[in-house]
Amino acid sequence: DLLQLQSSDILFDLGCGDGRMLLRAASRVDGLRCVGIELNESLVARGRENMDMAKRSADKATLADRVEIRHGDVLAELKTMGQLAPATASTSIGEQSNRKLSLLDDATTVFVYLLPQGLKQVKILLEEAANRRRREKTNAGEGDNE
C-alpha cells in the first residue's frame, strides 16, 4: 500500500533478503513484475525456496512467474547504467521476454533496504540514473517536434 503499485509497474527491491516483500507485492497487485537483488547467498536460496512454494500453490502459480530474485551486488547492478544487468545467478520471470529487466531502463518503483553505508552509495547512483532517464525522455520528446 505504501508504494501505491499498479499492474503496469516493475518493482526493484534492492537488498531483497528472502524475497517475501516481492512475493507479497506481486500477490496484491495483478500483473506487477518484481525483481529483487540480494548479496547474501543464503537469503537468495531462502527466497528461491519461497518462490518454489508459491509455484506449488495452484492459485499462486503465475505469481512466482512475475518475481525474479537475483544473487548479486546492488552497486554493480547500478553501475551498469543502461547496460543489461550483470551476469548473476537468477530465478527467471516466466512471463517476460528473454531480455533481463534492468534497474535503469525498466524499473518504475525502487524499494531499498540496505545498511547506511550502502544506502549512501546507492542514493548517489540512483540519482544519477534518474537524471539520465529524465534527459533521455526529454531528448526523445524533442525528436517528436521535427
Tell me, what DSSP letter sits at residue 100?
P
Which residue type sits at 129? A
- Give the model's pLDDT for residue 36: 94
End-to-end CA distance of the chain: 42
Q: What is the 3-state secondary structure (H, E, C) of 64-96?
A: HHCEEEEECCHHHHHHCCCCCCCCCEECCCCCC
Kindly give, in sequence order, each residue whose CB lies less than 8 Å from that of residue 91, ignoring residues fewer than 6 positions away.
Answer: 47, 48, 51, 67, 68, 69, 70
- Give the model's pLDDT for residue 81: 53
- Give the model's pLDDT for residue 9: 94
Rounded Cα distance, 35 and 52, in Å:
16
Rounded Cα distance, 59 and 64, in Å:
10
* pLDDT block averages, 10 residues each, the chain of length 146: 84 93 91 94 94 75 82 79 45 50 84 81 79 71 58
pTM of this structure: 0.75
Does residue 143 sit in helix, strand or coil? helix
